[in-house]
Amino acid sequence: MSEDDPLERLSGAVPGPRTAEHIPALRAYESQNVTHLADDFPVFWESARGATVVDVDGNRYLDLTAAFGVANVGHANPRVTAAVADQAERLMHGMGDVHPTAVRARLLERLAQILPPGLKKTFLATTGSEAVEAALKTATLATGRSRFASYRGAYHGLSLGALTVCGIDKFREPFAPALGQRALLLDYPGSDETADGAIARTRAELTGHTDVAALLIEPIQGRAGCIVPPPGYLSAVRALCDDLGILMIVDEIYTGFGRTGTWFAVDREGVLPDIICIGKAMGSGFPISAAVGRAEVMDAWPLSNGEALHTSTYLGNPMGCAAALATIGELARRHLPARAAALEPFLRSRLNALTSRRVVVGVRGRGLLWGVQLANPGVAAATVKRALRAGLILLQSGAAGDVIAITPPLVITERQLARAVEILEAAIDAIE
Ligand code: PMP
């Protein structure tokens, strides 16, 4: 086994005794809402590199999650860790909207180069939800309207503003009184529809709602279980937004930075959003995100007179900027968006073959963003646990929890990917 291409290696029980040692502290001191702690799940992570993760018991796993689609350039990518370490020694934190940094100026310029043309004025932030908040506030200022159209199944983060446009009931319900009627929830099209049919419905759903500032859309719905709209739908949404005079905000927090085989998913149809939200893989694990818009839209914000209307303590944090610049450098240097596209046929055919199993309802995806829909959430949970015991990290997903999300680091080797899929197949077969 070569050092650059490690596979799984289990050195004992999964979860092991060291994981068990840490559980009481979590149980005692963490909000009980955060981590589901069972006897057979989860494991405590200790380190990660490339497409593998090592737990506190020394078990090494293949990773088909990239930790929520973040480690696109690989866990602990050496160029990213070097950039972060170097930045940490010089300046770990600056003064967001007061004294800027050179690394921030370089990142803003670089983002404008890799994003669809015209998207060039940026609000940097820390999490995906915050990027969405900035986009929503921008749309409100730019249009003077206060409602938003988004989709059933949509996931844009869980902060209060982002939750307003969330289309997954279980996240909304406990907070429904606080969310009000700010969102107009539309039906997201399935891949079995035509773009023409789907856009006619979207138009009908939007008709008469003159209070809508913007329509928010994920180019592929991630958290909902990897729902891919029909080809042409995104461009049709662009035309519809122009026609109705509402802004188009594309949430590429999950799909961006090469995940779907192009730098951004909108690049595939040449769609130019008014605002794009990015995050996750942007900093390879250092929290950084952004809302980037066309100048005409972003200039709805007043010129700063020394006090920004929208900022935060960590805006443009220099470590995040250094991590993002190094990440973009790695994506470009190693042609990782193209690599995601090149690995797609293998993954597509192996996952499609799974549909011969009784418990596999369907598979769908693009590039290295896939969803395997199983018979029910119980089967999905059992598959994830069985795979873990065999040395593979998977993520249960889908609005109902019945989907397994497959989002490996884009640097995963063919041998690692083939082995990971083999473990997934075996886990499903064992459950079947
Ligand atoms: N938008 C999309 C499409 C996402 O997938 C996510 C995170 N899963 C978010 C927004 C929210 O990002 P964060 O969790 O960093 O707030």
Q: Ligand 1: does its nearest atom lie under 6 Å from the Cβ of 75?
A: no
Phi, psi of 267 (to 5 degrees): -60, -30
With a cut of 70, say whether residue 426 has pLDDT above it: yes
User: According to DSSP H, which parts of 245-335 are helical?
Assistant: 295-298, 318-333
pLDDT tens by residue, 213-233: 999 999 999 999 999 999 999
Distance 106 CA to ligand 1 centre (A): 25
With a cut of 80, say whether residue 2 has pLDDT above it: no
**From the alpha carbon of 129, which atom of ligand 1 is closest?**
16
Average pLDDT, the chain: 97
359 to 135, 192, 352, 373: CA distances (angstroms): 40, 21, 13, 9
CB-based burial label for 144 (10 Å; 0-12, 13-18, 19+): exposed
| CA-closest residue to ligand 1 atom 10 | 156
> How many residues in the chain?
432
Q: Which amino acid is at 377?
A: P
Q: Which pLDDT score is estimated for 1?
A: 43
Mutate to test the pocket of ligand 1, among 164, 220, 280, 312 (most ligand atoms within 8 A of CB): 280
Q: Residue 397 and residue 381: Cα distance in Å, rounded?
A: 10
Q: Which of 409, 407, 404, 399 is nearest to 221 (CA)?
A: 399
Q: Residue 226 and residue 222: Cα distance in Å, rounded?
A: 5
Distance 267 CA to ligand 1 centre (A): 20
Range scoring the smallest mean pLDDT among 4-13, 136-145, 271-280, 373-382: 4-13
Q: Ligand 1: does its nearest atom lie under 6 Å from the Cβ of 287?
A: no
Q: Which pLDDT score is estimated for 115?
A: 98
Q: Residue 410 and residue 203: Cα distance in Å, rounded?
A: 36
| CA-closest residue to ligand 1 atom 15 | 128
Q: Residue 323 and residue 288: Cα distance in Å, rounded?
A: 9
Distance 157 CA to ligand 1 centre (A): 5
Q: Residue 238 and residue 429: Cα distance in Å, rounded?
A: 43
Mutate to test the pocket of ligand 1, among 65, 129, 166, 228 (most ligand atoms within 8 A of CB): 129
Q: Which of 165, 167, 233, 159 is nearest to 201 (CA)?
A: 233
Mean pLDDT across 149-169: 98
pLDDT tens by residue, 255-271: 999 999 999 999 999 99
| CA-closest residue to ligand 1 atom 11 | 157
Q: Ligand 1: does its nearest atom lie under 6 Å from the Cβ of 230?
A: no
CB-based burial label for 34 (10 Å; 0-12, 13-18, 19+): exposed
CB-based burial label for 2 (10 Å; 0-12, 13-18, 19+): exposed
Q: Residue 181 and residue 179: Cα distance in Å, rounded?
A: 7
Distance 167 CA to ligand 1 centre (A): 13
pLDDT tens by residue, 391-411: 999 999 999 999 999 999 999
Distance 358 CA to ligand 1 centre (A): 32
With cut-offs at 50, 70 and 90, classify the pLDDT of residue 3: low
Tokens 């955060």 belong to: 34
DSSP secondary structure code for residue 5 in this structure:
S
Tokens 């040692």 belong to: 21
Q: What is the CA radius of gyration of the chain?
A: 21
With a cut of 60, say whether residue 298 has pLDDT above it: yes
Distance 415 CA to ligand 1 centre (A): 30
56 to 16, 77, 240: CA distances (angstroms): 8, 20, 52
Count CB neighbours of 205 within 10 A: 15
Q: Ligand 1: does its nearest atom lie under 6 Å from the Cβ of 129?
A: yes
Residue 164, token pair as written in the block: 């307003």
Mean pLDDT across 140-157: 98
Looking at the chain, the whole-number percentage of residues with pLDDT higher than 90 is 98
| CA-closest residue to ligand 1 atom 5 | 254
Q: Ligand 1: does its nearest atom lie under 6 Å from the Cβ of 133?
A: no
pLDDT tens by residue, 11-46: 999 999 999 999 999 999 999 999 999 999 999 999
| CA-closest residue to ligand 1 atom 7 | 157
With a cut of 50, say whether residue 376 has pLDDT above it: yes
